[in-house]
Amino acid sequence: GREIGPDDVEPLTWAQYEMGRNYSSGDYLRAITSAHAWTRRVIQWFTAEVDGGQGFDLLLTPTMAEPPALLGDLVGTADDPWRALGRATPFAAYTAPFNVTGQPAISVPLYWEASRNLPIGVQLVANQYREDLLIQVASQLETARPWADRRPPVHA
């Protein structure tokens, strides 16, 4: 084998690798501790009777904060590798938090943007270990508003 270099990976991947070299193990542990504490608060919001509430079965959000990007919009360059991340951030605003918490989430294409005939997703998030509830609700939504035969104008 050989060491991986900047020509072997995407510019953003290399920039993140270089940035990561500046963090200590203590920095990493503080970040993980913070992420775990935040996860516990989110899970508590779903399960606990907060302020007299009864918890929540599902959270409904948009999948993305804006319509789908055009091809090539989310690409960084060697000169500006962070461009990709900056441009992609609005797209992950609703999904990334649940990558941190590990909660099950599903995106279903309930709306189609007329101008580009592209699907617009609705995200459902459940409490930990409730994948069954997500699949059940997604199935009901697909029965009510089928999407299996809908395709954007360009697809693989």
pLDDT the model gives residue 156: 52
Length of the chain: 156
What pTM, to 2 d.p., does this model score?
0.81
Rounded-to-integer distance, Cα 13 and Cα 50, Å: 40
Domain interval for residue 63? 11-144
**What tens digit of pLDDT does each residue of 108-128 get?**
999 988 888 888 899 999 999
Q: Kindly state whether residue 6 falls inside one of the protein's structural domains.
A: no
Domains of the chain: total: 1
pLDDT the model gives residue 141: 97
Q: Kindly state whether residue 109 falls inside one of the protein's structural domains.
A: yes
Q: Kindly state whether residue 124 falls inside one of the protein's structural domains.
A: yes
Helix (H, G, I), strand (E, B) or coil at 34: helix
Q: Can you say how many angstroms the Cα of residue 69 is from the centroid of all Cα atoms in its chain?
A: 15
